[in-house]
Amino acid sequence: MAESTDVVVVGGGYAGVMAANRLTRRDDVTVTLINPRRTFVHRIRLHQLVGGSDDAVVDYREILGERVRLVTDTVTRIDAAGRGVTLASGGTVRYDYLIYAVGSGSADPRVPGAAEFAYPIAGLEEAHRLRPAVDAAPATAAVTVVGAGPTGIETAAELAELGRTVTLVCGGPLGPYLHPRGRRSVAGRLAKLGVTVLDGPDTKVTAVTRDAVRLSDGRELPSAVTIWTAGFGVPDLAARSGLSTDALGRLLTDETLTSVDDARIVAAGDSAAPSDLPLRMSCQSAIPLGARAADTVLSRIAGERPSRLNELLVGQCISLGRRAGIVQAANRNDVALWFHIDGRPAARLKEIVCKGTVKYLADEARKPGSYGLHRVSGGPKRRQLLQAKRAEAAATA
């Protein structure tokens, strides 16, 4: 009887679940998924949790393969030399291969008062803390959302649709990723909802107090509830474990998602930095990266050369309350195009995407290997960036 190969997946988000399910393609692979929660967090619905229209969680029994062992615990250290992970509960789990998929969370705001008085929303526990704060505030109380990426826009629209008095402080342009036409569409919808949008270079937040937000142009905005959505960070597990990371703390890998330090460690999702050129943080990136990471491990077990990363991001979906949204199309290099869909059709498409994301994971659980979008080739931009990076390194050497 062939000896079993033990694979540990650290992190049960979009990338980790996809990777864990896919690994069960081989009967001689034992898969353990370690995650601090017993339920899957559907992060792209967290703004709905705050607004009360969704709980943003999915039972792992719906999306995790039967052969995946779920361990509810937190990994505190990776022992690469000993091939084991230490758990917060005090135990140790050994591995032959490890997939590092710890995801991302709220970044340290580094703005005076923000950590004390503002509410982040990147994680389930953070959203659970925010919702009662919003509910307890008077209906006419000023709510300030800081950050004009998708999370900030969605949160502002969700609360404004409920009748809240919302100001969106952009700290730069509204929706930086969006094409100017898409940006105008979003601005128009936010205006209809009554959201005050403050954008431009003078709208950076310089301080947060219990009841106000100060801007770089000297203005002070009253704010009963301040919601912080500006920027993402990653857990420092890789750095604490002595593994090479980029400046943000993502695990440095090659183009097969294999750690530059250890061929037995493979990364996926927001916590991976392939060739120090990480992909845009999103579930759109995380799921194919999870599939690619699993394929890399399976190739190594089979004694085959792993395939290199393909990149294909096709745009961005943003909900603008429950009755409208925008689907911003992009080219194969992930640059926004003039074309977009807005209004109710976009809201319906966004809902299809949210449900479809979970369906990808559930389908892979039932039929490992069925997912194939990670094999679709993206545009030439990544190859060009890699060539430029190698040329720069050669010139420096």
Structure confidence at residue 310 (pLDDT): 84
How many angstroms separate the CA atoms of 249 and 243, rounded?
10
| DSSP character at residue 174 | S
Give the contacts of 116 (CB within 8 A, at least 6 positions apart): 208
Q: What are phi and psi of 62, to 5 degrees?
A: -85, -25
How many angstroms separate the CA atoms of 235 and 74, rounded?
11
**Residue ranges for the chain with pLDDT beneath 70:** 1-2, 397
Structure confidence at residue 2 (pLDDT): 60
Which tens digit of pLDDT belongs to each residue from 153-171?
999 999 999 999 999 999 9
Secondary structure (3-state) at 286: helix
How many angstroms separate the CA atoms of 131 and 328, rounded?
29
User: Helix crossing, 14-23 with 343-366: angle to 10°?
Assistant: 30
Structure confidence at residue 1 (pLDDT): 45
Q: Which two tokens stand for residue 392?
A: 């720069």
Least Cα distance to 181 among 72, 327, 58, 37 occurs for 327
